[in-house]
Amino acid sequence: MTKGTYKDLRVWHEAVKLASNIYRATALFPRHEIYGLSQQMRRAAVSVPSNIAEGKGHRSNREFGNFLLHARGSLLELQTQLHISEDLKYLSKDVAENLMLQSDHVAQTLNALINAIREQAA
């Protein structure tokens, strides 16, 4: 098992920043979306660092790896929602692109951690 806590993981910090930026961006969505797309995006965004943290608290790399896969699934869900938000003009092209770039970076870092965990388990 990797040492340290979830707070020692760069990917967790990046995912927290992404979630905060999603909250800021969705605050500007139309009022009628308060319980719709904006809430789904917020939940998906918060799920990424939450799953990383929860998985890090488990005793084995296998369990940790499963939570990292859940985090990746939530991130892919968020990316889909970013596309929808841009298509609906809830997000400007620039804001959507910046958030997508940030989420792509989180995905790369997360995938690298997943691969490292798998190699340790092999």
| 44-84 tens-digit pLDDT | 999 999 999 999 998 889 999 999 999 999 999 999 999 99
Percent of the chain with pLDDT over 70: 98
CA 31 to chain centre: 24
The domain made up of 6-121 is a member of CATH 1.20.1440.60: yes
> What per-residue confidence (pLDDT) applies to 52?
97
Q: What is the mean pLDDT of residues 85-99?
A: 97
pLDDT value at 2 more than 80: no
pTM, full prediction: 0.94
Let me know: does 9 contact 113? Beta carbons within 8 Å.
yes
pLDDT value at 116 more than 70: yes
Helix axes 37-56 and 93-121, enclosed angle (nearest 10)? 20
Helix (DSSP H) and strand (DSSP E) numbers for the chain: 4, 0
Average pLDDT of the chain, as a whole number: 95
**Domain spans in the chain, listed from the N-terminal domain onward:** 6-121
**How confident is the model over 19-28, as pLDDT tens digits?**
999 999 999 9
Q: How far, in Å, are 16, 87, 88 from residue 10 at the CA level?
A: 10, 31, 32
**Interatomic CA distance for residues 51 and 112, integer angstroms:** 16
> Which of 64, 54, 38 is CA-nearest to residue 118?
64
